[in-house]
Amino acid sequence: MSRVDTQVIGQPTRSLEIAKQVAIVIAASLFVALCARVTVPLPFTPVPLTLQNFGVLVVGLLLGSRRGFAALSLYLIEGACGLPVFSPAILGSGITHLLGPTGGFLMAYPLVAFTAGWIYEQSSKQSSKQSSKPGARRFLWAALSSTAAEIVLFAGGLSWLAVLTHSVSLAIKFGLYWFVFAEVIKVLMAAGVAARWQQRISPQR
């Protein structure tokens, strides 16, 4: 087969792969939007309790750092354009929503997904060289990756709340105290999903 023929055959394959990756990124952004619909408003804080953060962690862990970052960047673009992808518990839409009390959390999402994905990618490379208790090791690293990502999330969210309220203590009161237990549950759930998924796609021999 000539070099020209190889290039002709390879072109559709490359285009198909690009289309596949784009579809995955779009689907991931819609998954986070779906998680955002599961929201519980809290009367003592302008920040609602939502499953949205769980979706961000899952996307980062399953898609990896680059695709996770792309998916959540797309998610923010969708919301900024007025699409109903953000939590319905917060009034406003589009840019107004991004400038509201949850804006810091939202704007941090791409970095949150990137952090979770990058750490988990590095740990997966190390775990693939080990053979003892691979499932437990995957879960542990997924949980640690998610915890690091949560630190990034709350750093962004609380910083923005501090700007809006002109008070660090109020920012912590509104954006942290009421969510610690729920975030621990989300971290464990996301870690379980990621560990199970990786086990399925790369079974140990």
Residue 36 is predicted with a pLDDT of 94
pLDDT over threshold 60, residue 205: no
* CA pair distance 135, 128, nearest whole angstrom: 11
Q: What is the pLDDT of residues 126-151, one digit of tens each?
A: 665 555 557 788 899 999 999 999 99
Please tell me the class of the 3-201 domain: mainly alpha
Query: What's residue 136's pLDDT?
Result: 83
Neighbours of 46 (CB within 10 A): 17
pLDDT of residue 130: 55
Average pLDDT rounded to a whole number, residues 97-103: 90
Q: Give 120 or 10, the one with higher predicted confidence.
A: 120
Burial class (CB in 10 A: 0-12, 13-18, 19+), 113: buried
Task: Answer yes or no: is pLDDT of 45 > 70.
Answer: yes
Domains of the chain, by residue range, sit at: 3-201
Is pLDDT above 50 for 200?
A: yes
